[in-house]
Structure 1
Amino acid sequence: MFTWGANAWGQCGTGESGDGHGIPARNPWVGKHKIVRVAAGQFSTAAITDAGEVYVFGLNDSGQLGKGDFSPGMVEVPQRVHIDGEVVGVSIGYAHMLAWTSDGKLLSWGRNFYGQLGVGDHRDKSSPQVVSYLQEEKVVSAAAGQFHSVVVTERGELYGFGYNRDYELGVGDNMDRVLPQVVPTLSGKKVVAVAAGGYHTLAVTEDGSLYTWGLNNLHQLGRAEKSSGKVPSLVPLTSGGIVGGRQIGKRLKATQVAAGTWHSLAVTQDGSLFAWGRCEHGALGVPCDGGENGAMSQPHRVESLKDKKVLMVAAGAAHSHAVVAA
């Protein structure tokens, strides 16, 4: 595992805190472990080993490192989070974490002011809690937004909980939820991929349809109007791009999505990458000519990658990454 960037809270896990690291450095503290997955949050980091163990480091003021206390200090070297089961995935929000195991169990810990842990109350948790409301389901993926969480089950049902003032949960109202709530509009459509942004959510169904909902102040939902999306609505991705403000050409099937704080990304079955939302700092990878208030209101293909097959995509607060086939 290599880490770099801001390190004021030890989120690089190098054994020290302070100035950031501009060059990737190998982490010496996990040398004996084979890391298979990593996740980065606002001020903390998590890594999963091939044995299904979770190691975390960084800020712990809300118990987000899951080590059993709320010490305001930092953890500068990776520490194992004790979870019963083989962890296969982890996601980090502003100050909370979600993890799911190979047998479909969902665990959460950290800040819980808005109910983003899904355990039925608003109290922060300093150690992993099983989300018992979903114990009859098998969780296969999850995503932590700024203050909300979304979960996909093996049956393809989508659940949301936590902050909902901007309709992030897609349930039709703006009341926070402390327990997982099924997203009724997508019930029965079999969700296969999900992403949680700052205050918006994206999902892909089995037939390749892309749905978005939540805050839309910078067109992060991929819709021309700027009103928030109270429930999931379909966003077309087409081969012909946008002409006269309309998507034209053949409909493309989405396979995966990523959400930053104010922008969104989607990969289609043919390996194309689409981007929309706030385009300041070059986060979309497309020219932002004519974009209202520095935003693209509809999905635009990232033309600089048109001859590449995109395999994986990730979105940070205002930057993006893509892995393409060699």
Structure 2
Amino acid sequence: MCCTGGRLAVLERGGAGVEVHQLPAGSDGARKPKCIKLGKKMKIHSMDQGAEHMLILSSDGKPFEYNYSIEHARFQCILQEKIIIQITCGDYHSLALSKGGELFAWGENLHGQLGVGRGIASTPTPQMVEHLYGVPLAQVSAGGAHSVALSMSGNVYSWGGNDFGQLGLGHTDDADFPSRIEALDGQHVEFLACGASHTALLTKGGLVLTFGDGRCGQLGHNSTQNELRPRLVTELVGKRVTQMACGREHTLAYVSDLGKVFAFGSGTEGQLGNGGTHNQLIPRPMKLPSNEELKFESRTSEKELIMIAGGNQSILLWMEKENSYVNLRRKIPTLNEGTVKRWLADVGTKQWQNTKREIREIFSSPACLTGSFLRERITGGRTSVHLDLNTARTALSELARKDCITNTITACLRENLLKALPCHSPHREAVEVFFLLPECPVMHDDNNWESLVVPFAEAVGKMSDPSSGVLEEYWASLGESAFIRLVQMFKRAIVAQLRCWTKSAESNCHIKALLELLKKLHRVNQTKCHLPESIFTVNELTDYLDFHEDAYRRSFWKVSSQKKIRAYMPLAGILGQEGSELALPPTLNLLVRRGHLIEDVFSHLSRYENEDLRRELLVKYKSHLMLLLQREGKQNRT
């Protein structure tokens, strides 16, 4: 069930269609609802609606859109190639979260509510919100013209219209791309909801924070002022809120321990359930017609409360807990201890094909893989790294015990994940997949240096400067053994590349990417880790690169060649022809003193033009005898 200012949509029994009721229903209640069918053998999982459109999600993850403004409209399937797990509607835009953790947006974009920049005013085609790619998202919500997303680690990102401060960023400028709400550092947000121009957040500890439009009291701060940053609703402190919902200009909060629903904000249509039509500036319990406080016996009951806040309506559903529509929020697939044990047990059984599909889903998605190993966030604490590397190492090592699992993971990384890493994401959470990947045992397998390690190094080389800086911070946090293991992974790849070296552009690109990454690690070591320089020594290089022999060969070739050329040129009569193509190329001669090497070099080079610097360089050192003769010559002239 969902409602807006003018419509109430109710799911038909069996989930095959939707009844749409026009609001208000009229004094006689005789206005007949419109029935919209989805299709044969299809069941509706969830739905939401905006001002002129409705979005429904089928049980198999396919979203369908219905446009109220089109006569004889029908449901249109969108994002057919994706499995969608969550949908939400703003007034004129929509958001959909895929099972792989990708967020898509479409519709109106006048305020940047799609999160894809202002290049387009509106679009009917879903666009991926690139700035959040790789961030493991837990929930998305859309307001009138703004959007908000919650990550699995408890961070909140907002974008779009911001005229009342509903983005919580401390200002009233619209945002074209998702920005993390930094004022929430230290708070672990678990749920969020959007009104037309206000936003409400629920923390793991049961606290409620609100911001944005406060003109009707919908923020619950006993005022009608707007709030530009998240502010704690003090009236609800100590009551441990467990559920929350936002209408257009009102807010609902459920305290299950008390069995009470608190409402605040606009009450012009009686949506606060307090028997009146006045606005409420602070949270107050809903009441029965008898003026007694409404109370649900949730502790001992087999039922659960579902709250729905529409445009100017509030709906409370007291439903059986086993009802499939009680908990509709689906999550992206992640790996945990139980999953690891089940996968290992499924090898060689009839369940293996399903398990293989699950492995592909997680190890092909940066968001799913990162979301699998998040550490528990402590309320009030701040951390720059959200990953639990110890848990990751244990789980990934366990999975490496089975060859068929290892082979599947290797194929996923090679064919999917490494080709789609979030190299340009501005958010730290997305970059963490780069920190996590080297913990996979398959990355250290000598057989995978070209298919896994080289593409990984190339992806790191493509990272934006801010993202690369974040990754280097993560590397600096590694323990000594983990850092050395990381360095060794790239050293082995360098040696392997040298062993199968070919004079091709591909070999050059590979070795360059590996050396550039080793250079980054060396910089981190110099500034942060301070481990022995010897860990970067590639001893095998001496077998492939003999600088002394190379210098000798070049010198011998040059001397012998010049002797032969000079011997034959007089016979040809061209030695003195300066413009001849066969004449020896001019050299750039530097005569320097050993004790003043740098000073003399810069002094000489400053006299030449850029074109002169293209010549072959010939350096001669002044001997003591030469200097003495020069001095005597000067004295004789004087």
State the TM-score bracket (shorter-chain normalisation): 0.7 to 0.9
Over residues 61-94 of structure 1, what are the superposed CA-to-partner deviations in whole Å (9 max), with x where a residue is unaligned? 00000002264x2122111112151112111111
User: Secondary structure at the residue paired with 1:58?
Assistant: strand
- Among 262, 265, 270, the alignment partner of 1:219 is 270
Matches of 1:151 and 1:163, distance apart in 2:
14
Matches of 1:5 and 1:96, distance apart in 2:
15
Q: CA RMSD in A?
A: 3.3
User: Secondary structure at the residue paired with 1:133?
Assistant: helix
- Among 158, 163, 172, the alignment partner of 1:113 is 163
How big is the shift at 1:156? 1.2
Paired position in structure 2 for 1:230: 281
Tell me, yes or no, if the aligned pair for 1:204 and 1:256 is still in contact at 8 Å. no
How big is the shift at 1:24? 1.7
- Among 121, 124, 127, the alignment partner of 1:79 is 127
How big is the shift at 1:130? 0.3
The one-letter code matched in structure 1 to 2:221 is: V
Tell me, yes or no, if the aligned pair for 1:142 and 1:149 is still in contact at 8 Å. yes
Tell me, yes or no, if the aligned pair for 2:106 and 2:124 is still in contact at 8 Å. yes
How big is the shift at 1:126? 0.3
How big is the shift at 1:11? 8.8
Tell me, yes or no, if the aligned pair for 2:55 and 2:87 is still in contact at 8 Å. no
Over residues 124-169 of structure 1, what are the superposed CA-to-partner deviations in whole Å (9 max), with x where a residue is unaligned? 0000010111121111111110110000111111000000011010
Q: Write the mapping of 1:170-249 to structure 2, written as runs, cut at 5 A.
A: 170-207=220-257, 208-236=259-287, 242=289, 245-246=290-291
Paired position in structure 2 for 1:52: 101
Tell me, yes or no, if the aligned pair for 1:161 and 1:178 is still in contact at 8 Å. yes
Seen in structure 2, the aligned counterparts of structure 1 residues 59 and 183 have a Cα distance that, compared at 3 Å, is: same
Matches of 2:284 and 2:51, distance apart in 1:
39
Larger relative contact order, structure 1 or 2 (CA cutoff 8 Å, min sep 6): 1
Seen in structure 2, the aligned counterparts of structure 1 residues 9 and 158 have a Cα distance that, compared at 3 Å, is: closer
Matches of 2:312 and 2:281, distance apart in 1:
17
How big is the shift at 1:201? 0.5
Over residues 189-220 of structure 1, what are the superposed CA-to-partner deviations in whole Å (9 max), with x where a residue is unaligned? 22111111111100112313210000111110
Matches of 1:78 and 1:110, distance apart in 2:
16
The one-letter code matched in structure 1 to 2:283 is: P
- Among 308, 316, 325, the alignment partner of 1:311 is 325
How big is the shift at 1:248? 9.2
Q: Decide which structure has greater strand share.
A: 1
Q: Does structure 1 residue 90 correspond to structure 2 residue 140?
A: yes
Matches of 1:62 and 1:20, distance apart in 2:
28
User: Secondary structure at the residue paired with 1:185?
Assistant: helix
What percent of counterpart residues are identical? 26
Tell me, yes or no, if the aligned pair for 1:11 and 1:57 is still in contact at 8 Å. no
Seen in structure 2, the aligned counterparts of structure 1 residues 69 and 10 have a Cα distance that, compared at 3 Å, is: farther
The one-letter code matched in structure 2 to 1:260 is: G
Tell me, yes or no, if the aligned pair for 2:243 and 2:253 is still in contact at 8 Å. yes
Paired position in structure 2 for 1:305: none
User: Secondary structure at the residue paired with 2:73?
Assistant: strand
Tell me, yes or no, if the aligned pair for 1:167 and 1:213 is still in contact at 8 Å. yes
Q: Decide which structure has greater helix share.
A: 2
Output the TM-score relative to the length of structure 2.
Answer: 0.39
Seen in structure 2, the aligned counterparts of structure 1 residues 140 and 250 have a Cα distance that, compared at 3 Å, is: closer
The one-letter code matched in structure 1 to 2:264 is: W
- Among 25, 28, 31, the alignment partner of 2:76 is 25
Mean CA deviation greater in 246-255 or 184-193: 246-255
Matches of 1:108 and 1:309, distance apart in 2:
32
Mean CA deviation greater in 2-11 or 57-66: 2-11
Looking at CA atoms only, which structure, 1 or 2, has the larger radius of gyration? 2
Paired position in structure 1 for 2:313: 263
Seen in structure 2, the aligned counterparts of structure 1 residues 247 and 45 have a Cα distance that, compared at 3 Å, is: same
The one-letter code matched in structure 1 to 2:100 is: A
The one-letter code matched in structure 2 to 1:40 is: C
Tell me, yes or no, if the aligned pair for 1:67 and 1:126 is still in contact at 8 Å. yes
Seen in structure 2, the aligned counterparts of structure 1 residues 126 and 11 have a Cα distance that, compared at 3 Å, is: farther
Output the TM-score relative to the length of structure 1.
Answer: 0.73
Paired position in structure 1 for 2:117: 68
Paired position in structure 2 for 1:145: 195
Paired position in structure 1 for 2:581: none
Tell me, yes or no, if the aligned pair for 1:9 and 1:75 is still in contact at 8 Å. no
How many residues are aligned here?
268
Q: Does structure 1 residue 99 correspond to structure 2 residue 149?
A: yes
The one-letter code matched in structure 2 to 1:79 is: Q
Structure 2 unaligned segments of length 5 or more: list them.
1-37, 39-43, 57-62, 299-303, 329-638
How big is the shift at 1:53? 1.6
How big is the shift at 1:225? 2.2
Structure 1 unaligned segments of length 5 or more: list them.
272-307, 315-326
Paired position in structure 1 for 2:514: none
